Amino acid sequence: MTNRKAFCSWSGGKDSCLALNRAIKNGFEITHLLTMFDETGERSRSHAISLEVMQAQAKSLGAELIASSASWQNYQTVFIEELAKLKSQNIDAAIFGDIDLQEHRDWEEEVCAAAKIEAVLPLWKENRRDLVHEFLAEGFRSVVICVNEKYLPKEFCGRVFDEQFMKDLPDGVDACGENGEFHTFVFDGKLFNNPVPYKIDGIYSHTPTFPSGDSASFYYAKLIL
């Protein structure tokens, strides 16, 4: 067990939430959630969730949300700047929810090293389906707010992430969506003071461009309070 202060690199989804839960069980004091937003500051970079909804989620979790805007061109610079600010508050560990994408871990360790913060990955190299079962067994509730059209039809977007959702996944789709097949938003569970009172205000299609220059078509659920 540890008594160290840490922040969580936060997408708002199930993997971040499970990593947060494990970190707290291991004695970390999580004071902040860091979410990177797009250039407008209106939508989270990874899951396209509005600032208002992300703030409501963080408030229910009892943590301070750091919502920092960046383009893909200055993303790393801005991220390291935020890490340096957290380091100045005696926070020396960063919790990440990645499972087994080595390039993600390499980047996280690089930026954390620049700020003299330790990168901690509580879920690393564990069985993905086991992690899903743990997430659900711990009582967390989430909704699927983004699906990649290449892997899943529109009907999967907006569904509750549960055992039935898992059973309905087509062959080849990862249980955790680790390959970008889908993303989730956690709205209730043991760490929450109250459920986040979200509503789905429609499903829309968008084709974002990634740092590599590649793009993909997604369906997104527009969450509102």
Q: What is the pLDDT of residues 40-63, one digit of tens each?
A: 999 999 899 999 999 999 999 999
* Dihedral sign from CA coordinates of 134, 139, 140, 145: positive
pLDDT band at residue 112 under the 50/70/90 scheme: very high
Assigned CATH class of 131-224:
alpha beta
Q: Which CATH architecture has domain 5-120?
A: 3-Layer(aba) Sandwich (3.40)
Put simply, whether the predicted model's pTM sits higher than 0.85 gets the answer yes
Judging by beta carbons within 10 Å of its beta carbon (0-12, 13-18, 19+), is residue 137 exposed, middle or buried?
Answer: exposed
Q: According to the model, what pLDDT value does residue 216 have?
A: 86
Q: What is the pLDDT of residues 164-200, one digit of tens each?
A: 999 999 999 999 998 899 999 999 999 999 999 999 9
User: Can you give the residue ranges of every domain in the chain?
Assistant: 5-120, 131-224
Collapse the DSSP code of 79 into the 3-class scheme (helix H, G, I; strand E, B; otherwise coil) and give the result. helix
Sheet-wide strand order for 199-206: 182-188, 141-148, 218-224, 199-206
